[in-house]
Structures are given as C-alpha cells and as structure tokens.
Amino acid sequence: MLRTIGLMSGTSLDGVDAAWVETDGEAIGRMGPVLTLPYEPALRRDLRRLLDLVAGAQPRDMAAGAHSRDVAAGAHSRDAGEIAEGDPFLADCVRRLTARHAEAVATLRAEVARVLGEATDLVGFHGQTILHRPARPGDAAPGRTWQVGDAAWLSRATGLPVAHDFRSADVAAGGQGAPLVPVVHAVLAASLPKPLAVLNLGGVGNVTWIGPDGALVAFDTGPANGPLDDWARKHAQTDYDRDGLLALAGQPDGAVLGRLMAHPYLAAPPPKSLDRLDFDRALREAGAQALSPQDGAATLVAFAAVCVAAAGRHFPDPPLQWLVAGGGRRNPAMMRALAGTLEAPVRPVEVAGWNGDALEAQAFGVLAARCWHGLPLTFPGTTGAPRPLGGGRIVGR
C-alpha cells in the first residue's frame, strides 16, 4: 500500500484540509492524522476575488431558465473572463496557496512520524478550483475546469511525487469533471446497508447514491454553504453563519424559495455539476437580496435542503439513510431543514466512523493512489464519463 497525504482546498476557500491515508486505491488501510490549515483573511479575500475575475464580466451563472436555454441552444459563454494563465495576480495567489499546502504537508508528516512512526510516499493535490464549466448536454464545444496550484513546486518543496490535475481528463472526454469522491465513498461504505446516500455539504453540495449491487449515481445537488457564507459575510460580518444562528432566527421566504425551486438545474437529470458561482444570478433575480439578514439566511438554508430533496428524486431507489459530510453538517439549521425535507434519516458520517471534516482530503489520498496505479477515477454514473476513465497526472515520480 502507498502512504499518501491527500490535500483539499474546497469551494468554501477557508483553508487546506490534509489527511494521511494508507491505500492502494482500491482498499483503505490505516487512516492517520488529519489537519486543517486555515487561509489568512487576505488570501481568502484574494481567492474569492479571483473567482469573480475568472468568471469574467459575463459569468455563466444560471439564472432561472439559463440551464434549459443552454441545453436547448447548446451554447453558453466560454470566455475565461479577465484572467488568463500567467496573470501576475493569479500567479501571486497560486504561490501563496501552494506554500500553505507545503506547510500542511510538512506539519502533517511530522505528526505522522511522531504518532505512527511512518513516512509518506505520495501526495494527492487537488488545488483550488477557480472555474468549472463542464460541457452541458448538447454543447458542441468541450467544457473547461480549472484547478490552480503549483504541483511541480510542491513536489520539489516536499521531495515527494505529487498527483494533481484530477479533473481535466474527464472534462476533455465529455464528463462533468465532478464529483470525484464517489468512488471513495463506495470503498468506505462497503459494509454499510444499501441503498445509501452520502451527502457532502461544502460550498456546493454533492451526493453519492450507492446501490445494493455497488452501482453509483453521483452529482452536485446545488448550492450548499457558498451563498450562505457570502450572505453572512455581507450581513453579519462573519465568514459563515456559525451554528446557524442567523438562519435559526429567521423564516424562509416562501415567494423567493418558490422562484428558486423552479430553477431548471433541480429537475435536470444527472450527470451534472456546478461552479461555486453558478446560482449567484438566480439568487439575485429571485429577490433574495431584499430579505432581512435572518430571513435571507433561513431561505438559503431551506433552498440548500430543497436542492438535496430534488437530488433524491433522481436516485433509482430511495436511500435507507443519508450520511452527511462537510462543514454544513455542523450547521444545526441545515441539518434541521434536511431532516424536515428528506424522508430517510439524516445523520452525520461520524455514525459510520468516518471523519466528516477530513473525508475529501482522505479521498484525494486514495485518488492519488488510483492515479499512481492507473485505476479509473470517474465513471458513467458519477461524472457521465463515456466509460471508466483514469485521470490525474504525477509530477516527481
């Protein structure tokens, strides 16, 4: 087995998660220490600005109707906006982001040596997604997904081989390029009763349905914490709605929620995936901005839960339970909304003995090992890949 460190910097832009995992890509041996290194506020702000700049003056965010129009017309904006490779602001963000990842690897390696007396063979480096525009059904042009981070620099800094660029081969083959973690959910859930739904509530939500025969259906559900974080930053001057206090003090607005629920993304069949900013325009057009801080937060939470319920309607069979990972499971308003909307029990992944904060980082350790061994990362049921597809590249092997 390979001794891996998986690194994930998610759409919440809050920091880098790192986890040590022993794996051959098909089975998981020991799970070692994990850690999160938060980004300093200036880096968070700059990454958030980078997303806006890359989306460009005419972001392909999905106002109600845009998804179906795209599907019908087979066209949406392909421009990568105002930032291109080599831009000095981008380069500076990448340098600071990669340095923080190197720090995470160094700190975790020291901890692994201390606690387990073990070394590390391979790093799985997701990088930071700054643009995600996979092809939609009917699109003639190929899609694009862009994760930034300097894998060669990280490899030199750590002296380890680094697997990276996990999504682009799938997108080039017509897949969605996301979600990638489902194959790892399936490994972890091997002994759990099926059908099972594993829900990740990050900036964006994604779900993996695992059938009794191991079949996978996975896709992004809709916005989860992303718009809520933006809302809390604007209306409560906090990075996120800690413990759901703002949302719990408000009421979802029926009219705004009704307009959001009509969004074509919810009814669109999988495969499907989202950019962090894809719903911003729809939220504005639905009138969310006019709500009070409390009602706005409650409405965003309710909408995230409605998106998850809509996702459940795309499963072949209802799940026996929903296991929830990601920061959203720490938000009592979110968990309450899910419990009120979904029919099966909703529980944090910790009930299965998993670590809901480290799951994605652990997954990128496993995906790095799969890349190393040439095993597929994506499947027709997960990203809509035309067949099981390998992905990722390794630097420093």
Ligand X SMILES: CC(=O)N[C@H]1[C@@H]2OC[C@@H](O2)[C@@H](O)[C@@H]1O[C@H](C)C(=O)O
Residue 250 found at the interface with ligand ATP (CB under 6 A): no
Residue 221 found at the interface with ligand ATP (CB under 6 A): no
Q: Candidates 5, 6, 11, 25: give the one binding ligand ATP (CB under 6 A).
A: 11
Q: Can you say how many angstroms the Cα of residue 159 is from the centroid of all Cα atoms in its chain?
A: 28
Q: Which stretch binds ligand X (CB under 6 A): 86-94, 97-105, 201-209, 388-396?
A: 201-209
# residues contacting ligand ATP (CB under 6 A): 22
C-alpha radius of gyration, the chain, whole number: 20
What burial class does residue 171 get, using C-beta atoms within 10 Å of its C-beta: 0-12 exposed, 13-18 middle, 19+ buried? buried
Q: What is the DSSP letter of 387?
A: S
Amino acid at position 385, single letter: A
Whether the CB-CB separation of 291 and 222 falls below 8 Å is answered with no
Residue 308: closest CA among 224, 248, 241 = 224
Residue 129 found at the interface with ligand X (CB under 6 A): yes
Token pair, residue 124, equals 């799985």
Binding track, positions 249-288, relative to ligand X; x by CB under 6 A: ------------------------x---------------
Distance CA 177, CA 243 (A): 32
Residue 231 half-sphere exposure toward CB, CA atoms < 13 A: 30
Residue 249 half-sphere exposure toward CB, CA atoms < 13 A: 10
Residues in the chain: 397
Q: Candidates 195, 222, 270, 326: give the one binding ligand ATP (CB under 6 A).
A: 326
Residue 273 found at the interface with ligand ATP (CB under 6 A): no
Residue 124 found at the interface with ligand ATP (CB under 6 A): no
Residue 225 found at the interface with ligand X (CB under 6 A): no
Q: Candidates 5, 180, 256, 307: give the one binding ligand X (CB under 6 A).
A: 180
Distance CA 247, CA 309 (A): 19
Residue 105 interacts, among ligand ATP, ligand X, none and using kind-specific CB cut-offs from 5 to 8 Å, with none
Residue 4 found at the interface with ligand X (CB under 6 A): no
Q: Candidates 3, 109, 132, 272: give the one binding ligand X (CB under 6 A).
A: 132
Question: Shortest Cβ distance from residue 99 to ligand ATP (Å)?
Answer: 19
Contacts of 153 (CB under 8 A, 6+ apart): 98, 102
Residue 370 found at the interface with ligand ATP (CB under 6 A): no
The 3-state DSSP class for residue 274 equals coil
Using the minimum distance from each CB to ligand ATP, give the nearer residue, 2 or 308.
308
Residue 11 found at the interface with ligand X (CB under 6 A): yes
Question: Shortest Cβ distance from residue 273 to ligand ATP (Å)?
Answer: 11
Residue 128: closest CA among 286, 10, 5 = 10
Residue 204 found at the interface with ligand ATP (CB under 6 A): yes
Residues of the shown chain interacting with ligand X in the complex, contacts defined by CB under 6 A: 10-11, 129, 132, 145, 178-181, 200, 202-204, 206, 220, 273, 360
